Amino acid sequence: MDHILPWLILKNIPGIGNHLFKRLLNQWKSPEDILKQSIDELTSIQGISERVAKQICKKNSAINAQKEIERARQFDIMILCMNDEDYPPLLRQLPDPPPVLYVYGKLIPSDMCVAIVGSRNSTTYGDAITRSLAKDLAQNQVTIVSGMARGIDTAAHKGALDVNGRTVAVMGCGLETVYPGENRALFHSIAKNNGAVVSEFSMGAKPEAYHFPSRNRIISGMSMGTIVVEAGNKSGSLITARLALEQNRQVFAVPGQVHSQMTEGTHRLIKQGAKLIENAQDVLEDLGPFLNAHLFVSPEKNKSSRDKDLPPMDSCEKLIWEQLTSEPQYIDDILHKLDITTSELSVQLLQMEIKGLVDQQPGKRFSRGIII
């Protein structure tokens, strides 16, 4: 983690927030280059005062930065900088991405993430629907992101773990602290089961109230969409939903009892345009085009034809694939060629659509997907 030192030195200078850090990077590309600049060159950047420029030149935070790296190693914490390949790509798109992330476990840049958030004082109904959503999404290779708070967050993480799926917990404190304390076992279980617990805060940072809105922007920022389950009118989950909209991400809401205070916030979101969902399929259908691109569009532009192999298919998927052509067919026409039920075919077609193997057209017509 030695390459992290310049990032931490710059991050720990008072007066340099995430927006200003990114502005400096846009000018000089790396913290190493920024730390080499003169006071006059630094003050030419909007937002850099002479006082801050002097702090950058003195590098007074170097000792504390080195101690932070050593502390992270003691706790088996990896520190990622914004330029590392494992840094979440969607998060990097924000106007104020965290320059560094502390990670317990492992982040995978190809993760397809969906956030699930909601009330800390959840009902039995809220916990059950959350756990079911998380299970079904995780079984479809979606990584569940939440904040490891009591209630809905906890149910979301546990739902993913129930089916050995990936889940990421974003903390509002440093990773030396497990908050809330009763989730200590969950904290370690997430990291040990191919997931990750992450934070933008330094190792010893406490769970201060003002940390959580910042934490929420990371939850929504690294996710393709955010699902809200059980949120009152003043719920912090509504902040996450607002941030998701500002980040141009989809917002979903689960309806509840009409007269329940626990769902006033979620119903308001639906009135304001959030997509009402009842199950994981609703989410997968909405995010389908993005999921297809995320899974199978290669950044390499000159791949040879032999590299354009189909994704792995099980025996049932192969049978369906063989009946499909480039011309859309009605689902009933496909069904007549196969020895399966309508419901089984619908499930298989959805799975194949998520993989990019199938394109769905209006009127329940299906054709072979274009594998890029």
Q: Where in the chain is the domain with CATH 1.10.150.20?
A: 2-68
- What does the pLDDT read at residue 76? 96
- What does the pLDDT read at residue 292? 54
- With contact defined as beta carbons under 8 Å apart, do 226 and 252 qualify? yes
317: confidence class by pLDDT, cuts 50, 70, 90: confident
- What does the pLDDT read at residue 5? 94
342: confidence class by pLDDT, cuts 50, 70, 90: confident
* pLDDT tens sequence across 1-37: 678 999 999 999 989 999 999 999 989 989 999 999 9
Q: For the chain, what is the mean pLDDT?
A: 88
Q: Where in the chain is the domain with CATH 3.40.50.450?
A: 104-287
Query: 225-229 and 365-368: which strand pairing?
Result: unpaired
- Name residue, tokens 């607002």: 242
- What does the pLDDT read at residue 262? 85
Q: Report how far residue 227's alpha carbon sits from residue 234's, in angstroms, rounded to the nearest whole number.
A: 17
- The closest alpha carbon to 101, from 192, 7, 211, belongs to 7
CA distances from 280 to 134, 147, 155, 255, 332 (A): 8, 20, 15, 14, 24
- Name residue, tokens 């998380």: 134
- What does the pLDDT read at residue 372? 40
| Max intra-chain CA distance, the chain | 75
Find the range with the poorest average confidence among 55-64, 166-175, 303-312, 338-347. Answer: 303-312
Topology, domain 104-287 = Rossmann fold (3.40.50)
With 90 as the cut, is the pLDDT of residue 233 above it?
no
DSSP 181-228: GGGHHHHHHHHHTT-EEEESS-TT----TTHHHHHHHHHHHT-SEEEE
Average the pLDDT over 153-168 and give the result. 97
With 50 as the cut, is the pLDDT of residue 303 above it?
no
Torsion sign over Cα 193, 209, 236, 87: negative
- Name residue, tokens 């399966």: 340
371: confidence class by pLDDT, cuts 50, 70, 90: low
Bridge partners of residue 251, in order along the sequence:
226
Q: What whole-number percentage of the chain has pLDDT above 90?
A: 66
Topology, domain 2-68 = DNA polymerase; domain 1 (1.10.150)
Which of residues 214 and 328 earns the better pLDDT score?
214
With 60 as the cut, is the pLDDT of residue 369 above it?
yes
Of the candidate CATH numbers 1.10.10.10, 3.40.50.10710, 3.40.50.1950, 3.40.50.300, the domain formed by 302-368 belongs to: 1.10.10.10
* Angle, helix 211-221 to helix 236-246, in steps of 10 degrees: 50
- What does the pLDDT read at residue 118? 96
Residue at 322: amino acid letter:
E
168: confidence class by pLDDT, cuts 50, 70, 90: very high
- What does the pLDDT read at residue 293? 47
- What does the pLDDT read at residue 318? 86
* pLDDT tens sequence across 108-152: 998 999 999 999 999 988 999 999 999 999 999 999 999 999 999
Q: Where in the chain is the domain with CATH 1.10.10.10?
A: 302-368
With 70 as the cut, is the pLDDT of residue 296 above it?
no
Average the pLDDT over 253-260 and give the result. 88
Structure tokens at 163: 């089916």
309: confidence class by pLDDT, cuts 50, 70, 90: low
Around Cβ 300, how many Cβ atoms within 10 Å? Answer: 8
